[in-house]
Structure 1
Amino acid sequence: MRWENLYVAGLGAYLPEQIYTAEQAVADGVYGAGECEANGYRAVRVAADDEPGPVMAAAAGRQAVARSGLAADDFDVVVHASVGHQGQDVWTPAHYVQNEAVGGNGAAFEVRQGSNSGLAAAEVAASWISARPDATAALVTTGDSFKLPYWDRWKADEQVVYGDGAGAMVLSTRGGFARVRSTASRADASLEPLYRGEDSWTEAPFYNGKPVDLAGRKRSWLSRHEGGYDEAIARINKNFGAVLQTALADADTDLAGTQWFIHANMSKTIVEWGFHGALGLDPDSTVYDWGLDYAHMGGGDQIIGLNRLFETGRPKPGDLIVTAGAGIGFMWTVAVLEVLDTPEWS
C-alpha cells in the first residue's frame, strides 16, 4: 500500500527498571547454559507487579503523544497490541490505554497478532485515519509482561526469550518527522496449526495451571506431519520475501536504497541467518545489539526499536527505514519510512 499524507509524529517506549541477566538466569537454573550461548540474549527487563502490559503501554503512549504535540481531540482512534495476558480477563485494555494516555472520544481497538501485533496495529490505524477525511491522528501502543505461572519467559518457546516492555507510535495526517511511504501485509493461514498444536482445544484460559508451551505445540504438530518443518520454513521465507518486496516497490526503492532496518529482537541464530545473512544486512544498520539487552518484547520490538533508533539521533533527513514483523498465524507486515527531520527529543 502506497501512502499519501501519512506521517509518524511521535514515538515512545517504557522499559521497566528491573534487569534480569541471562547469566543470572543460568545460575538460577531457569535457563540452559547452552541455550544462553546459542541465543545470544544478555538480559531482559522485568515489570513490577503493578506494571501489566496496558500500564506500560499507557506510559509509552503518554510519551509519544507529548512528543507529537497533538491534543486529545486530534486522536480519532487508539489501537493497542499485545501477545500475552493483559492484567485482567474479559476486559478491554485498549480503553484503559486510551483513558490513561490520551483521553478523548475516538474509537479504541485491540489487535492480537503475535509478534506482528505492533506493525499490524499500525497498519490498521493508518487505514482508519486515511479513510476518514476529517481524521487527524492515531495512537498505536504495544505492551506485554511475561510472568509465571502463566508464562515462563525463558522456556515458553525455542530460541526465544521474552522481555517486558511497551512501545507507542503516533500516526498523523498533518505531518511529522517521518513519512510513511508504504506498508504491506501478507498472511499464510496454512501455518496456523504450528502454534495451536494437535489435540489442543481448551475449555478456559490457563485451564491446567501450566505455563504456555509454544515449543511443545510446535513439536506436537511437526511430529505428526512428515516434512512439515521444511515446508513451514519454505513458506515463511517465501511469504516474508514477497511482503518485503511489495513494500519496497510501493515505496519506490529497493533494499540497497535503504539505510536502516528494524526487525524483532530474536535469537542470534535466527537473526544472523534469517535477516542479516539472507538479506545481506549490516548489523550497524539495525538496533540488534541493543535489543539483546531486552530480548523479545512480544509485538513491540519494531516500535520500541524505532524509538531507540531515533533517540540515538542517527537517522538523517532523506534516510529510508524498513521495519519488518512476523507473527504466528502466520502474518507478516513491512513498513517503509522516510526520515524528514531530526526530532527535538532525539
Structure 2
Amino acid sequence: MRWENIYVAGLGAYLPEQVQTADEAVALGLYDADERVGNGIHAVRVANDEEAAPVMAAAAARTAVARSGHDAQDFGLVVHACIGHQGQEFWTPAHYVQQETVGGRGSAVEIHPGSNGGLAGVELAASYLTARPAETAALITVADAFKTPYFDRWASDNQQVYGDGAGALVLSKRGGFLRLVSTASLTDATLEPIYRGVTGWTEAPFADGKPVDLRSRKRDYLLLHEDAYEATINQMTVNAGQVLQEALDEADMKLADAQHFVHANIAESIATYSFYMTLGVDRATTTYDWGQNIGHCGGADQLLGLNHLAEAGRLKAGDKIVTMGVGVGFTWTVAVLEVESAPSW
C-alpha cells in the first residue's frame, strides 16, 4: 500500500533504568554460556514492580504526543500492542494508555501480532486515518515486561533474549518529520503451530506454575517430520523477501536506496543470516549495535529503533528508512519512510 499524506509526527520510548547483562545472567546460572555467544545480546533492561507494561507504554506515549504537537482531542484512535502479561488479568490495557495520555472518546484497541505489533499497529492506524477523513491523528504504543515466574527472559525461548520497554508513535495527517511512504504485510498461518506446539490446550495462563516454555513447543513442531526445520526456514525466508519487495515496489525504490534499516533486536546469528547475508543489508545502516544492549522488546523494537535514530541525530532530510517486523502466527510487515526534516528534539 502506498500512502498519501500520512506522517510520523512524534516518537517516544521508555526503557527501565535497571540493566542485567548477559554475563551476569550466565554467572547466576540463568543463561547458557554458549547461547550467550551465539545470541550476541549483551544486556537487557529490567522493569521494576511499578513499571508494568501499560505504565511504560503511557510514559512513552506522553513523550511522543508532546513531540507531535497534537492536542489530545486530535486523536481518534489508540492502538496498543503487546505479547505478554500486562499487569492485570481480564482487563483492557489499551484503555489505560488512552486514559493516561490523550483521553477522549476515540477508539482504543489492543492487538496481539507477536513481535510485529509495532509495525502492524502503524499499518492499521494509517488505514483508519485514511478511511476517516475527519480524523487527524492516531497513537500507537507497544510495551511488554517479561517477568518471572510467568516468563523467563533468558530461558523461555531459544535464540531470543527478552528485554522490558515500550515504544510509541504518533501518526498524523497534518504533517510530521517522517512521511509514511508505503507498507506491506503478509500472513502465513500454516506456520502458526510453531509457537502453539502440539501438546494440546491449557485451562488458564500459568496453570502449571512453570515459566512459558517456547523451546519445547518449537522443538515438538520441528520434529514432526525430517525436513521440517529446513522447510520452515526456507518458507520464512521467501515470505520475508516477498513482503519486503512489495513495500519497496510501492515506494518505487530498491533496498540499496535506503540509508537506514531497522529490524528487531533478535539473536545475532539470525540477524546475520536473515538481514545481512540473505537481504544484503549493511549492518552499519541498522540500529542493531545499540539494540544488543536492550534485548528483544517484542513488537516495540522497531519503534524504539526509529526513536533511537532520531535522538542520535542520524536522520537528515531525504533519507529513506526501511523497517521490518515479524511476529508469531506468522505475520510480516515492512514500512518505508522518508525523512522530511530532522526533528528538533
TM bucket (normalised to shorter chain) is over 0.9
What residue is the counterpart of 1:104 in the other structure?
Answer: 104
Give the superposition deviation at 1:215: 1.1
Matched, 1:142 2:142: yes
Give the superposition deviation at 1:200: 2.7
What residue is the counterpart of 2:79 in the other structure?
Answer: 79
Range moving further from structure 2, 216-225 or 74-83: 216-225
SS of residue matched to 2:54 = helix
Return the alpha-carbon distance in structure 2 between the equivalents of residues 9 and 200 of structure 1.
45
Which 4+ stretches in 1 moved above 4 angstroms?
none
Return the alpha-carbon distance in structure 2 between the equivalents of residues 199 and 210 of structure 1.
15
Give the superposition deviation at 1:315: 1.2
**Which one-letter code corresponds to 2:72 in the other structure?**
A
- Which runs of 5 or more residues in structure 1 are unaligned? none
Return the alpha-carbon distance in structure 2 between the equivalents of residues 59 and 124 of structure 1.
22
**Which one-letter code corresponds to 1:290 in the other structure?**
W
Return the alpha-carbon distance in structure 2 between the equivalents of residues 243 and 282 of structure 1.
19
SS of residue matched to 1:249 = helix
Give the superposition deviation at 1:243: 0.3
What residue is the counterpart of 2:176 in the other structure?
Answer: 176
Matched, 1:290 2:271: no
How many residue pairs are counted as aligned between the two chains? Answer: 345
Give the superposition deviation at 1:121: 1.0
Cα deviation, 1:290-314, whole Å, max 9, x if unaligned, reads: 0000110011000010000111111
How does the TM-score come out when normalised to structure 2?
Answer: 0.99
Return the alpha-carbon distance in structure 1 between the equivalents of residues 105 and 136 of structure 2.
13
SS of residue matched to 1:116 = helix
SS of residue matched to 2:115 = coil
Return the alpha-carbon distance in structure 2 between the equivalents of residues 159 and 191 of structure 1.
18
Return the alpha-carbon distance in structure 2 between the equivalents of residues 71 and 200 of structure 1.
48
Report sequence identity in percent.
Answer: 61
Give the superposition deviation at 1:225: 2.5
How does the TM-score come out when normalised to structure 1?
Answer: 0.99
- Which runs of 5 or more residues in structure 2 are unaligned? none
**Which one-letter code corresponds to 1:275 in the other structure?**
F
What residue is the counterpart of 2:44 in the other structure?
Answer: 44
What residue is the counterpart of 1:3 in the other structure?
Answer: 3
Return the alpha-carbon distance in structure 2 between the equivalents of residues 200 and 68 of structure 1.
46
Q: How large is the Cα RMSD of the aligned pairs? A: 0.7
Q: How does 1:120-159 map to 2 (within 5 A)?
A: 120-159=120-159
SS of residue matched to 1:226 = coil
What residue is the counterpart of 1:332 in the other structure?
Answer: 332
SS of residue matched to 2:48 = coil
**Which one-letter code corresponds to 2:158 in the other structure?**
E
Return the alpha-carbon distance in structure 2 between the equivalents of residues 247 and 196 of structure 1.
29
Give the superposition deviation at 1:224: 1.9
